[in-house]
Structure 1
Amino acid sequence: MSRNAAKPGYAYIDDHGRAALLAAAHPEVAQQLLWEALAASRGKTLVNCITTPNEWAIDVGLAARLDIAHEGYLAVRGMPVPAPYLTNGHFL
């Protein structure tokens, strides 16, 4: 949970210490949560299902010197792409 109640957000960390689900009200909060999740990760990490409205996650990945690759996708119909939001297959 974000430390600032006016800008809420959360990240679910899986058994390997990776951010498996992340959502926030503002991109800045999402970036902070992703940095905290990366700092807490153990071993190999993955930031998955990054969509165009969530390019802030690419910025974090590049700054953290992670390899950038594509694995998985998020498709929506009749609604905007959720942002700031990251997920993986367990939550789709």
Structure 2
Amino acid sequence: MKINERWEELKEESNANIQSEEGILKRQTRSIQTEGHFGDIKENESFRRFNYRSKEKVYKEFMLYAIGRNILKYHRFLHGEIKKYEGKKAQEAA
């Protein structure tokens, strides 16, 4: 058996990044982002099924949907309906 020293170094560096204050804030933000988007797509946009069945066609359909959703989000941002996300402030994070 052999211990990979480089792997151990990378593992320690990764753990330090995760446990840092910045890492904790990023994890808090990321933990809610994806679930919120999929929930919004399902409930508010009534997107429940794909029209196609093959893996390639489903991928293309979802990418087109995501592009359209991002264009709509950008449009709302330009017209002031959405404000730029600045992240949590130090007081809110504690």
Q: Give the TM-score taking structure 1 as reference length.
A: 0.27
Q: Which has the higher helix share?
A: 2
Q: Which has the higher strand share?
A: 1
| Larger Rg belongs to | 2
